[in-house]
Structure 1
């Protein structure tokens, strides 16, 4: 919290005009050694809101790590108005093992917030993160990627029924916002519930840095900073078109009805029309092809990257677009009919 201009946490204090890089203990290993997360706190000399940026709640989701690191250590924040709390790796045990969940009993840290000090290992870790670095903030952005073997176009997930969260989601400036309150235990759900509007930014795939998505996310952070007066940057950005996907929109994960090797015919962010061939599933001899068609016209927000499936495995995440938005996206098609990635 900011006390007389200082940001305080259990064990430390960051005065106005000061920056601290700390490794904050949230648990212990089997050997009794500390498990510590890296945190950078930049406290501006001028008054303003307190915001957090977090990444790698799932240890193999790397794109957001680079976003948070670049903001904390490469941006000129000498004129920052307010306080910025940067946590590039929340799930340190998962990051070290390069796996999604906490290696301790395979727990999902992003279903463990706000945590509890007398509960499971995951909830104890979550409580120390939440109480010290999330709850004192005014808003936050939590960066994620798709799970292993799939990829997402960059988009925001947010509770658009919450006025503060809706403002934050729109300020980020992505083409797509998927509306929803989120599951219990999610960082964005629990932070919003205690008065800290928080959005999730989904971007790309696990286990890699994808520069074009990192740059786009950095532009989104700049836009948010402009909206809240944290940093003198360019104006809040308008992405050219925007759609908010809610319960009125048709949306589905299209799943394989046959096992085999997948030939995907469209990339993430592609607009496909009802009846278009999304992919073909074949066997090793290519003599038994199963065609998968789009059940409705929509945007492929997420697609398969690992080209092998069992029956029931997800192939793509398709969301319906309003007609006016669809026309704008269609105008972005190249002359030869290839869809420009949204």
Structure 2
């Protein structure tokens, strides 16, 4: 029998339930939606979670499509899922947890007596750290971004190679291989000996079906490659960036992008122009380094100094 919160599944069965992680302001319990898929035969354990950031819904789209498609009778091992991590942020469609104004994915491994975010992080990490592999499904918030996977443990971590392999198997096509901030699950998991990656499935308001397809295919790639399900996986080379340049606007006005997401750029290529409201150019911004046009703001209006776009740099293929 495998349990996660109130979900209980013997071998060859699946169940859904709730994981209690605290209380709301009126004393009502906070219960995260969870699923357990317990394979008919022994094998590894995959832990997967989504909506650590309350406005990042593509991961939830992946979970809602993947869980019904996994037949426990044909599964070896187990898949454990927390469908919505940032309970409070999800309710109000906000990135951060509005109760403690914390970004959930900065609180791992958590604290059972800490803020609401730290308590949720602690409760979910108790399951994640016992798994063999971890997928923490994200997206580039509501910005526009390519589909990519992030390896956050750092190049010198003893599990870097394992995390990089997991990212390659997931197969979004692009990998950002840069050590992440303290408190990220993709940092805390490897520190506990568990290969962990952070798929960043595009960026949108609501959810995007193309990015969700990347995520669904990625999860099933992982399930097949690591022996949870039968089937072959064509592991394809990935474009990896080991640097990340961000560009702000030198002037206020309207942004016109001259480069499309995913395109290669060279030093001196125009990334964007800024015009006034009547279309006259006020500024032109070019690439400082060669790389891949990775991410952009969604709205065209911009203030002087405000974030506009990012370029993945130090690019190779692995």
Taking structure 2 as the reference length, what is the TM-score of the superposition? 0.91
Gapped regions of structure 1 (runs ≥ 5): 1-5, 326-342
1:80 and 1:68 map into 2 onto residues whose CA distance is 17
Partner of 1:177: 175
Task: Find out whether 1:191 has 2:189 as its counterpart.
Answer: yes
Deviation at 1:11, TM superposition (A): 6.0
What's the secondary structure of 2:47's corresponding residue?
strand
Q: In the TM superposition, what is the alpha-carbon distance from 1:120 to its structure 2 partner?
A: 1.8
> What residue in structure 2 maps to residue 312 of structure 1?
305
**1:13 deviation in Å?**
4.2
> Is the Cα contact below 8 Å between 1:243 and 1:321 reproduced in 2?
no
- Counterpart in 2 of 1:118? 113
Cα distance in 2 for partners of 1:74, 1:55 equals 17
Any idea what SS the aligned residue of 1:289 has?
A: strand
Residue 23 of structure 1, aligned match among 13, 18, 22:
18
Aligned length: 312
Structure 2: any 5+ residue segments left out of the alignment? none
Per the alignment, residue 264 of structure 2 pairs with 271
Flag the 1:75–1:10 CA change in 2: closer, same or farther, 3 A: closer
In structure 1, C-alpha distance between the alignment counterparts of 2:116 and 2:291, rounded to whole Å: 41
C-alpha distance in structure 2 between counterparts of 1:233 and 1:90, whole Å: 31
Contact 2:297 2:307 in 1 (8 A): yes
What root-mean-square deviation, in Å, do the aligned CA atoms of Structure 1 and Structure 2 show?
A: 1.9
Q: CA deviation at 1:288?
A: 4.1
Match of residue 142 from structure 1: 136
Tell me which of 219, 223, 240 is aligned to 1:225: 223
Give the Cα separation in 2 of the matches to 1:82 and 1:75. 12
- Residues 254-306 of structure 1: CA deviation (Å, up to 9, x unaligned): 22111111112222212223322211111112234311122233211112211
Which of 86, 90, 104 lines up with 1:91 in the alignment? 86
Q: Does 1:152 align with 2:145?
A: yes
Separation of aligned partners in 1, 2:224 and 2:234: 6
1:71 alignment counterpart: 66
Q: Secondary structure at the match of 1:119?
A: coil
Distance 1:303-1:145 versus aligned 2 partners, 3 A rule: same
Q: Which position in structure 2 is the counterpart of 1:242?
A: 238
Partner deviation per Cα, 1:82-126 (whole Å, 9 max, x = no partner):
000122211111001000011112111111111111222221121
Indicate the SS of the match to 1:53.
strand
User: CA separation in 2, counterparts of 1:94 and 1:44?
Assistant: 32
Measure, in 2, the Cα distance between the counterparts of 1:41 and 1:167.
25
Q: Distance in 1 between matches of 2:61 and 2:128?
A: 20
- Alignment-derived partner of residue 330 in structure 1: none
Structure 2 CA distance for partners of 1:11 and 1:282, relative to 1, 3 Å:
same
Q: Within 5 Å, give how 1:253-264 maps onto structure 2.
A: 253-264=246-257
**Structure 2 CA distance for aligned equivalents of residues 8 and 38 of structure 1:** 13
Query: For 2:7 and 2:248, how far apart are their aligned partners in 1?
Result: 50
Residues 162-193 of structure 1 deviation map (CA, whole Å, 9 limit, x = unaligned): 23222212211232221133221111111111
Give distance in 1, aligned partners of 2:34 and 2:25. 23
Residue aligning to 1:204: 202
